[in-house]
Amino acid sequence: MEAFNKLVKILKRLRNPSGGCPWDRKQTLHSLKEYVLEEAYELVEAIEMESVDKQKEELGDLLLQIIFLSQLHREKGHFTIKDVIDTLNRKLIRRHPHIFGDVTVRTAEEVRQNWEKIKKSDNKKPSILSDYPARMPALAHAKRIAEQASSVGFDWDDPLKALEKVEEEIEELKKEIYAGNHERVEEEIGDLLFAAANVARLTKVNPEFALKNTNQKFVTRFRYIEEQLKQQGKDINKTSLDEMESLWQKSKTSNDYPV
């Protein structure tokens, strides 16, 4: 707690109109938005790297943004970092009645479902579905709203049944592609992605992370193709698809390009 209080004091000094840091004094709630996202992504990357030291550093960087934003609100007379923590404490206690109350739950899934119901009650919204930020990645959004619908029983009980929905959407997409209806093709692709996100969720896979990994795998394999063609003195623009496909298959077993 002493270290936390010291950090808060440092932020106050940096923001001090007299003798503070010109850059820190210039920041606003809106100017800090990009740093919040950046630090969150860097923390996720550190976790994926399984680097303890990097996670410690990135957790500090993200914490800095939270305290910085709280300091800006304190200056406007809205609230302080203490208010933020107090609000969080109350929320955690209220949403864990199986720990701090007399509610009984047996599984983690029951805890999640109960959390969603309490969340709806807290927010006094007519829908079980939350209003997520527009900037939230679409696959992550799909996962969350499907989870919330699941909390009231609107869900498959088997990922294989959800996979049947994927197959159904593929057939519908084929029909629209053959028909050449661009608007319907876009709609069916959206349906297909949503159905795939549901399969991922039911198999305990985060679809956003899964796609991120696949993106990186594609980049790694494609760069292998580029490197091999460069070594052979060939122009990739004049290389046949069959030759690139052959190199693509080799990239899967290359020690220089682990995938």
At 151-186, the pLDDT tens digits run 888 899 899 999 999 999 999 999 999 999 999 999
Tell me, yes or no, whether 164 and 89 share the same domain.
no
Tell me, yes or no, whether 55 and 127 share the same domain.
no
User: Tokens 């934003």 belong to which residue?
Assistant: 69
Give per-residue pLDDT as tens, 42-56. 999 999 899 999 999
Tell me, yes or no, whether 64 and 26 share the same domain.
yes
250 versus 133: which is more confidently predicted? 250
CA count, 13 A, side-chain hemisphere, 145: 15
Tell me, yes or no, whether 140 and 188 share the same domain.
yes
Asked if residue 256 belongs to a domain, the reply is no
* Residues of the chain above pLDDT 90, percent: 67
- DSSP letter (8 states) at residue 238: G
The CATH number of residue 156's host domain is: 1.10.287.1080
Asked if residue 159 belongs to a domain, the reply is yes
71 versus 125: which is more confidently predicted? 71
Tell me, yes or no, whether 88 and 127 share the same domain.
no
Tell me, yes or no, whether 176 and 229 share the same domain.
no
At 243 the pLDDT is 95
Tell me, yes or no, whether 228 and 194 share the same domain.
no
CA distance readout (Å), 81 to 75, 88, 89, 130, 191 = 11, 11, 12, 25, 42
256 versus 27: which is more confidently predicted? 27
Helix (H) or strand (E) segment spanning residue 243: helix 241-251
In the listed set 93, 127, 142, which residue is the last one of a domain according to the structure? Answer: 93
Tell me, yes or no, whether 88 and 12 share the same domain.
yes
Asked if residue 149 belongs to a domain, the reply is yes
- The angle subtended at Cα 114 by Cα 108 and Cα 118, nearest 5°, is 145
Q: What is the mean pLDDT of residues 29-58?
A: 93
Tell me, yes or no, whether 79 and 147 share the same domain.
no
Tell me, yes or no, whether 196 and 123 share the same domain.
yes
Please give the full DSSP string across 31-46, using - where no structure is assigned. Answer: TTHHHHHHHHHHHHHH
Asked if residue 64 belongs to a domain, the reply is yes
Q: Which domain holds residue 81?
A: 2-93
Domains: count for the chain: 3
Tell me, yes or no, whether 9 and 72 share the same domain.
yes
